[in-house]
C-alpha cells in the first residue's frame, strides 16, 4: 500500500492505536510531492521541514496518550488564498507574493488544533478569479490524469495534489464552483457546505462574502465529512456564521437512500455536454435510482432570465480590489484585469437589482427542494481540456470563448445551498467526470449520505491517475 | 447608458473618465467592450421578462433558503 493514497478514515484508527506513524505518513506524501511537483505544479510553497517537525510532535503526543481525533497526524494542503501565520500566502498573485499573515484563517487554525500536518500551500487561479488555474505568476497547475490538461479551478492545485497523493486532503475556496470544478476534473471529492457553516474569514481576495465558501477536497466522501467537522462552526469575528445551525454530531453516512427523492433539473445543466459525458452522468443518476431513490424531473421557473438578472453581482469584487486596481493594475494577469475593469461599468441599479434577483433565485430553489431531497446534475460542462487552449492570457486570447466551467456550480453559491462533486466515471480517454449533488440548506447529512451510497456502489473514487503510481510502490490503493 | 449596440470603446473611455474610474489599457478595451455588451444584453432580457422585484427583500441568503422538509 502506498501510504500517500491512504484514506483518512482508514488510517486514523491505526494512528490512534499507535500502529501507524504520522512521520512515515508525512514522509510518503513528501516523497510524492518531490517526485511529481515538477510535472504537476500543485504547490506554490512546500513546507517539508515544518511538516516533519509537526509530524514528529504529533507522533509524540499520540504516543503519550494525547490523541486529538481523526485528523491528528494527517498531512493536508491549504489553498494559497487562505491565510497562514508566518507562511507566505500569495492568493496566486504577484500583488501578495511576499505577504506573511499575522494569524491563521480560522479554518487553518482549526485544522492545526485537530492535529493535521500542513505540507504546503497550493496553486490556484489568481485571487480565485477564474476556473482554469492557469496562472501566469506561478505557472499552470497540471491535471494528474494528463499533465497537458487543466486541473480546473480555482482550487486546481488542491484538487490535483489530492488526486496525485501529494496530500491526503486539502482545503479549497469556492465562490462560483472553485472547489467542485477542479474536484470533477481531477477525479476527487469536493464539498461546499451551506453558506455560513464554515467561516470564510482569512480568505484572501474574497470577491463577495455572500457567495464565498471554504471546503474540503478529499479522495472519499467520508474523508470530506471528517475535514468538514474540523472546520465548521461559528467564528465570533465572522458575521456570516452568526446564528447558523451547527453541523449535527450524529451525521450518519450509512443507511442508504431508499425512498429518497432525487430531482433532475430540466434547466440548463445538461446543455452542451458531449454525448459521452452526458451518458456517464445520466448513468450515475440512474445508479441512484437503482439504490432505491425516486428520480423526478424538476424545474425552476424563469431560471435563465433570473441568471441574467444577477449579473450585477460581478461589481462586488471592486470593493476588495479597488485600491490595487488604482496602484498596481499591471501586476494583475490580463484576464483578471479585464474582469475587474469591466466591473466598473456595471450600473449601481443593476447591482441593487441583482441582490433582489438572487433572493428570488434562492427562494425558487428552496421551493424545488421541498419537492425533492437533493438535485443531481453534471458538475461541469466538459472534462479537462488542454492547458494550451486555456493558455496564459493575452489580449487576443481573452476574446476567445472558453467552456463555461462554472455554469452549473455557481447556482449553489448564489443560493448558498450545500453541494458536493464526486467521481462519476471516466471518458474513453481516461478523464474523470463529476456528478454534483445539491441539497437543502443545512441538510449536509442528506447530501453526504446520498454521495456516500453512490460512492460505495461505484468505487470510481478508488481509481488513481497513472502518473501518481510512479512515485510510490503502487498506484492502486484503498 | 446606451443600448447594447451603441456601447462603443469611446463611450466606455468617456464613462470611466467621468466617473473617475481606472483607465482601461487600450489592448483590453475589446475584452471590456465584449463584457459590457454581454451584461447589457442579459439585463435587457431580464427587463423584458417583466419580473417584479420591488417587494423582494435581499436578506441574508440562508434565511431565504431555509426550509422545512
The total number of residues shown for chain B amounts to 69
pLDDT at A93 over 80: yes
Residue A396: its pLDDT value, please?
A: 81
Residues 6+ apart with CB under 8 A from A316: A207, A208, A351
Q: Do B22 and A344 touch (CB under 8 A)?
A: yes
Domain that holds residue A82: 3-469
**C-alpha cell of A32?**
510524492
**Closest CB to A416 among B27, B56, B61:** B61
Q: What's the pLDDT band for A453 if we cut at 50, 70, 90?
A: very high
pLDDT at A161 over 50: yes
A178 occurs within a structural domain: yes
Asked if A148 and A390 touch (Cβ cutoff 8 Å), the reply is no
pLDDT at A157 over 50: yes
Q: Give the range among A26-35, A301-310, A460-469 with minimum mean pLDDT.
A: A460-469
Q: Quick count: other Cβ atoms within 10 Å of Cβ A213?
A: 28
B37 to chain A, closest Cα gap in Å = 10
- Eight-state DSSP code of residue A393: -
Stretches in chain B below the pLDDT threshold 70: 3-5, 59-69
The CATH number for A148's domain is: 3.90.1300.10
Q: Rounded to an integer, what distance in angstroms lies between the CA atom of residue B43 and that of residue B64?
A: 23
Q: Do A325 and B42 touch (CB under 8 A)?
A: no
- How many domains does chain A divide into? 1
Asked if A383 and A431 touch (Cβ cutoff 8 Å), the reply is yes
pLDDT at A113 over 50: yes
Which residue is closest to B64 within chain A, CA to CA?
A363
Asked if A332 and A136 touch (Cβ cutoff 8 Å), the reply is no
- When scoring A242, A341, A372, A399 by the number of chain B Cβ atoms within 10 A, the one with the most, hence best to mutate, is A341
Residue A360: its pLDDT value, please?
A: 95
Residue B16: its pLDDT value, please?
A: 97
A342 occurs within a structural domain: yes
Q: Rounded to an integer, what distance in angstroms lies between the CA atom of residue B34 and that of residue B26?
A: 14
Which residue is closest to B33 within chain A, CA to CA?
A342
A364 occurs within a structural domain: yes
* Contacting residues of A for B8, CB less than 8 Å apart: none
Asked if A334 and A398 touch (Cβ cutoff 8 Å), the reply is yes
What is the sign of the dihedral through the CA atoms of A211, A216, A221 and A223?
Answer: negative
Residue A470: its pLDDT value, please?
A: 55
- Eight-state DSSP code of residue A123: -
- Residue ranges with strand state E in A266-410: 294-298, 374-378
Residue B66: its pLDDT value, please?
A: 47
Q: Are strands A261-265 and A374-378 parallel, antiparallel or unpaired?
A: parallel
Asked if A376 and A435 touch (Cβ cutoff 8 Å), the reply is yes
Beta carbon pairs, A and B, within 8 Å:
134
- Residue ranges with strand state E in A163-319: 169-173, 189-192, 214-218, 261-265, 294-298
Residue B61: its pLDDT value, please?
A: 53
A476 occurs within a structural domain: no
CB-based burial of residue A309 (10 Å sphere; 0-12 exposed, 13-18 middle, 19+ buried)? buried
Residue A132 backbone phi and psi in degrees, to 5: -105, -25
Secondary-structure breakdown of chain A: helix, strand, coil percentages, each rounded to the nearest 5: 40, 15, 40
Which residue is closest to B32 within chain A, CA to CA?
A342
A477 occurs within a structural domain: no
Q: Do B1 and A442 touch (CB under 8 A)?
A: no
A184-221 pLDDT, tens digit per residue, is 999 999 999 999 999 999 999 876 778 999 999 999 99
Note the ipTM here: 0.88
Q: Do B28 and A311 touch (CB under 8 A)?
A: no
Q: Which of residues 317-376 of A touch B (CB under 8 A)?
A: 325-326, 329, 334, 337-342, 344-347, 350, 353, 355-360, 362-363, 365-366, 369-370, 373
| SS3 labels along A75-101 | EEEEECCECECCECCCCCCCCCCCCCC
A362-412 pLDDT, tens digit per residue, is 999 999 999 999 999 999 999 999 998 777 778 888 878 778 999 999 999
Q: Identify the bridge partners of residue A80 per DSSP, sorted by sequence position.
A: none
Overall average pLDDT of the A327-333 stretch: 97
A475 occurs within a structural domain: no
Overall average pLDDT of the A139-162 stretch: 97
Q: Where are the domains of chain B?
A: 4-59+61-65
A119 occurs within a structural domain: yes
Amino acid at each position: 500500500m502506498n501510504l500517500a493514497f491512504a484514506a483518512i478514515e482508514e488510517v486514523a484508527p491505526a494512528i490512534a492505536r499507535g500502529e501507524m506513524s504520522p512521520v512515515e505518513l508525512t514522509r510518503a506524501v513528501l516523497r510524492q510531492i518531490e517526485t511529481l511537483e515538477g510535472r504537476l505544479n500543485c504547490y506554490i510553497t512546500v513546507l517539508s521541514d515544518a511538516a516533519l517537525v509537526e509530524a514528529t510532535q504529533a507522533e509524540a503526543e499520540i504516543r503519550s496518550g494525547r490523541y486529538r481525533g481523526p485528523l491528528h497526524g494527517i498531512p493536508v494542503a491549504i489553498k494559497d488564498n487562505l491565510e497562514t501565520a508566518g507562511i507566505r500566502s500569495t492568493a496566486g498573485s504577484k500583488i501578495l507574493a511576499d505577504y506573511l499573515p499575522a494569524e491563521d484563517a480560522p479554518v487553518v487554525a482549526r485544522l492545526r488544533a485537530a492535529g493535521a500536518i500542513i505540507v504546503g500551500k497550493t496553486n490556484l487561479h489568481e485571487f480565485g478569479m477564474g476556473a482554469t488555474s492557469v496562472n501566469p505568476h506561478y505557472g499552470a497547475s497540471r491535471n494528474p490524469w494528463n499533465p497537458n490538461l487543466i486541473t480546473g479551478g480555482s482550487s486546481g492545485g488542491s484538487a490535483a495534489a489530492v488526486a496525485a497523493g501529494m496530500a491526503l486532503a486539502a482545503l479549497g475556496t469556492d465562490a462560483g464552483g472553485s472547489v467542485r470544478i477542479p474536484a470533477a476534473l481531477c477525479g476527487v471529492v469536493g464539498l461546499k457546505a451551506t453558506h455560513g457553516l464554515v467561516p470564510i474569514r482569512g480568505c484572501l481576495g474574497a470577491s463577495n462574502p455572500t457567495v464565498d465558501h471554504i471546503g474540503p477536497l478529499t479522495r472519499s466522501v467520508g474523508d470530506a465529512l471528517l475535514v468538514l467537522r474540523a472546520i465548521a462552526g461559528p467564528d465570533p469575528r465572522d458575521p456570516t456564521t452568526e446564528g447558523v445551525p451547527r453541523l449535527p454530531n450524529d451525521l450518519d453516512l450509512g443507511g442508504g437512500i431508499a425512498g429518497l427523492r432525487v430531482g433532475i433539473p430540466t434547466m440548463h445543466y445538461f446543455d452542451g455536454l458531449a454525448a459521452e459525458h452526458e451518458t456517464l452522468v445520466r448513468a450515475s443518476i440512474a445508479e441512484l435510482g437503482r439504490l432505491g431513490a425516486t428520480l423526478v424531473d424538476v424545474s425552476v421557473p424563469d431560471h435563465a432570465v433570473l441568471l441574467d438578472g444577477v449579473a450585477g453581482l460581478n461589481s462586488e469584487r471592486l470593493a476588495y480590489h479597488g485600491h490595487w486596481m488604482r496602484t498596481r493594475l499591471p501586476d494583475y494577469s490580463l484576464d483578471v484585469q479585464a474582469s475587474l475593469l469591466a466591473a466598473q461599468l456595471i450600473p449601481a441599479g443593476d447591482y441593487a437589482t441583482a441582490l433582489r434577483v438572487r433572493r428570488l433565485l434562492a427562494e425558487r430553489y428552496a421551493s424545488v427542494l421541498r419537492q425533492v431531497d437533493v438535485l443531481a446534475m453534471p458538475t461541469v460542462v466538459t472534462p479537462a481540456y488542454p492547458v494550451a487552449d486555456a493558455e496564459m492570457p493575452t489580449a487576443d486570447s481573452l476574446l476567445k470563448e472558453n467552456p463555461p466551467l462554472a455554469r452549473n456550480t455557481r447556482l449553489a453559491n448564489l443560493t448558498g445551498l450545500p453541494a458536493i462533486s464526486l467521481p462519476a466515471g471516466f471518458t474513453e480517454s481516461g478523464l474523470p467526470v463529476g456528478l454534483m449533488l445539491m441539497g437543502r440548506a443545512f441538510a449536509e447529512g442528506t447530501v453526504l449520505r446520498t454521495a456516500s451510497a453512490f460512492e460505495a456502489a461505484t468505487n470510481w473514487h478508488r481509481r488513481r491517475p497513472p502518473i501518481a503510481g510512479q512515485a510510490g510502490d503502487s498506484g492502486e490503493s484503498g | 447608458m446606451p443600448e447594447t449596440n451603441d456601447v462603443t470603446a469611446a463611450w466606455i473611455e468617456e464613462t470611466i473618465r467621468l466617473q473617475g474610474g481606472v483607465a482601461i489599457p487600450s489592448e483590453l478595451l475589446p475584452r471590456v467592450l465584449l463584457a459590457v455588451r454581454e451584461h447589457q444584453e442579459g439585463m435587457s432580457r431580464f427587463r423584458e421578462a417583466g419580473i417584479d422585484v420591488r417587494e423582494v427583500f435581499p436578506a441574508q441568503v440562508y434565511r431565504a433558503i431555509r426550509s422545512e422538509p
